[in-house]
Amino acid sequence: MWCGFGKSSATVAAVCFVTVSTLISDTAFAVRNYTPKQFRTVLQGLGYKVNVSNSPLTDAETKAAIKAFQKGYKLKPVDGIAGPKTEDFAANIIEILQANLNLVLKPKTPLPRNQYYGSQTEAAVKEYQKKNQLQETGIADLALRQKLDQEAENLITNPASTPTKKPSRKPKASPTATPTASPEATSTPTASPEATSTPTESPTATPTPTSTSKPRTKPTAKPKPKS
């Protein structure tokens, strides 16, 4: 669900089309038509320098912005003309942006996934910028879209696994370790009373040989030589 961007806008791959097909498969690759003002608004909302007006897209500044857009997303030809392919690609990017903002911000009124960079989309971009302590310009430039794409990807891939692992590990480890160790250690002192009982045999062994040997030998040896 994430557009793989490179180090610069010129290395943006066509992986974004995969994101379009997954997030907004119902509208991907459909030809969209813009008025000059609508397309200027889209270019400006994506961070390209243009003036928003109803004038044709033929002035030098607008053509330079369109060329930068075509070059960044490897669209050919890079001619500065907003043809169907260029407009369709721009529409797909706007729809990805709107879908990711819905996923990350979870607004009460979800953004409509359409091709226009309207006031609601601009307000959502400002809200995302405020949340991340960024300048609230309402412009979703490349850096912001990269950050938003990554955050949306993390929300899709990570939360499903984290809540199930944590509760299953902690309660099982702590109770089994403490009770089994303490009773086994306390039972060993019961061997000491068995050791103290052995000295009771030594006093009984010493008196028996002394009392029986002395009285029997003295009276039987002396009377015989006198007679």
Q: How many CB atoms lie within 10 A of CB 67?
A: 18
pLDDT band of residue 158 (cuts 50, 70, 90) is confident
Q: Is the dihedral of CA 163, 167, 173, 174 positive or negative?
A: positive
Residue located via tokens 């949306």: 152
Higher-confidence position of 115 and 177: 115
> How far is the CA of 65 from the CAs of 38, 44, 46, 138, 209, in angstroms?
14, 9, 11, 18, 119
Distant-in-sequence, close-in-space partners of 67: CB < 8 Å, separation ≥ 6: 78, 79, 80
- Confidence (pTM): 0.60
pLDDT digits (tens, 9 = 90+) for 109-132: 999 999 999 999 999 999 999 999
